[in-house]
Amino acid sequence: MIATRLRQAIPFTIAIGIWFAPVPAGLTAQAWHLFAVFVAAISSVLVGAFPLLTAAMIAVGTLVLSGTIAPAHAFSGFANASVLLVVIAFLVAQAVVKSGLGKRISLFMVSHFGGSPLGLAYSIVLTDAAIAPAFPSNTARGGVLFPIVLSVSQGAGSKPGDPEGRRLGGYLMFCAMASLALSSALWLTATSGNPIGVQIAVKSGVEIGFGSWILASSVPALIAIGMLPLLVARLFPPGVGATPEAPAAARAELAVMGPLSRDEWITAVTFAVMVAGWVLADLLKLNVTSIAFTGLGVLLMANVLTLDDIAKQGDTLATFLWLAVLFALSGQLNELGFMSYAGERLASHLRGLSWPVLYVTLVVLYVFIHYLFVSQTSQILALLGVFLDVGVRGGVPVPLMAFGLLFASSYFSVITPQGGSQNIIFAASGYLTQGELYRLGLFVTLAFLAVFLLVGTPWVLFVAG
Q: Which stretch binds a second copy (CB under 8 A): 193-201, 307-315, 374-382, 432-440?
A: 307-315
CA distance 417 to 426: 9
CA distance 189 to 67: 36
Shortest reach from residue 297's CB to a second copy, in Å = 3
User: Of 326 and 363, which CB lies nearer to a second copy in the complex structure?
Assistant: 326
Backbone region of residue 395 per phi and psi (left: phi > 0; alpha: psi in -120 to 50; beta: other values) = left
The only residue of 43, 76, 116, 418 in contact with a second copy, by rule CB under 8 A: 76
CA distance 88 to 293: 7
End-to-end C-alpha distance for the chain, whole angstroms: 54
Count residues near a second copy (CB under 8 A).
52
The only residue of 23, 27, 53, 350 in contact with a second copy, by rule CB under 8 A: 53
Q: Please choose, from the candidates 135, 160, 224, 200, the residue with its C-alpha nearest in 3D space to the C-alpha of residue 414.
A: 224
Report how far apart, in Å, the C-alpha atoms of 260 and of each of 93, 99, 104 are.
18, 10, 9
User: Of 56 and 148, which CB lies nearer to a second copy in the complex structure?
Assistant: 56
By CB under 8 A, is residue 316 in contact with a second copy?
yes
CA distance 239 to 166: 9
By CB under 8 A, is residue 57 in contact with a second copy?
yes
Helix pair angle (338-349, 385-393), 10° resolution: 60
Q: Which stretch binds a second copy (CB under 8 A): 74-82, 124-132, 152-160, 377-385?
A: 74-82
By CB under 8 A, is residue 114 in contact with a second copy?
no
Mask: binding to a second copy, 264-293, rule CB under 8 A, as x and -? ----------------------xx-xxx-x
The only residue of 24, 272, 276, 315 in contact with a second copy, by rule CB under 8 A: 315
User: Of 58 and 198, which CB lies nearer to a second copy in the complex structure?
Assistant: 58
User: Of 324 and 464, which CB lies nearer to a second copy in the complex structure?
Assistant: 324
By CB under 8 A, is residue 355 in contact with a second copy?
no
Q: Please choose, from the candidates 105, 214, 93, the residue with its C-alpha nearest in 3D space to the C-alpha of residue 463.
A: 214
Shortest reach from residue 53's CB to a second copy, in Å = 6
By CB under 8 A, is residue 317 in contact with a second copy?
yes
By CB under 8 A, is residue 43 in contact with a second copy?
no
By CB under 8 A, is residue 312 in contact with a second copy?
yes
The only residue of 7, 23, 43, 54 in contact with a second copy, by rule CB under 8 A: 54
By CB under 8 A, is residue 307 in contact with a second copy?
yes
Instruction: Say if residues 270 and 292 touch (Cβ distance below 8 Å).
Output: no
- Residue 8 CB partners (closer than 8 Å, separation 6+): 49, 50
Q: How many residues does the chain have?
A: 465
The string of DSSP letters for 380-409 reads: IIIIIHHHHHHHHHTT--HHHHHHHHHHHH
User: Of 300 and 360, which CB lies nearer to a second copy in the complex structure?
Assistant: 300
The only residue of 320, 341, 373, 448 in contact with a second copy, by rule CB under 8 A: 320
By CB under 8 A, is residue 1 in contact with a second copy?
no
CA distance 283 to 183: 24
The only residue of 1, 3, 25, 72 in contact with a second copy, by rule CB under 8 A: 72
By CB under 8 A, is residue 61 in contact with a second copy?
yes
CA distance 465 to 65: 45
State the Cα angle at 101 between 430 and 255, rounded to 5°: 90
- Residue 300 CB partners (closer than 8 Å, separation 6+): 306, 307, 310
Instruction: Say if residues 115 and 243 touch (Cβ distance below 8 Å).
Output: yes
The only residue of 314, 352, 435, 465 in contact with a second copy, by rule CB under 8 A: 314
State the Cα angle at 149 between 143 and 152, rounded to 5°: 140
Shortest reach from residue 148's CB to a second copy, in Å = 25
The only residue of 16, 21, 29, 65 in contact with a second copy, by rule CB under 8 A: 65
The string of DSSP letters for 183-198 reads: HHHH-GGGSTHHHHHH
Q: Which stretch binds a second copy (CB under 8 A): 152-160, 294-302, 377-385, 455-463?
A: 294-302
Shortest reach from residue 129's CB to a second copy, in Å = 28
Binding footprint of a second copy on the chain (CB under 8 A): 8, 50-51, 53-62, 64-65, 71-72, 74-81, 84, 87, 286-287, 289-291, 293-298, 300-301, 307, 310-318, 320, 324
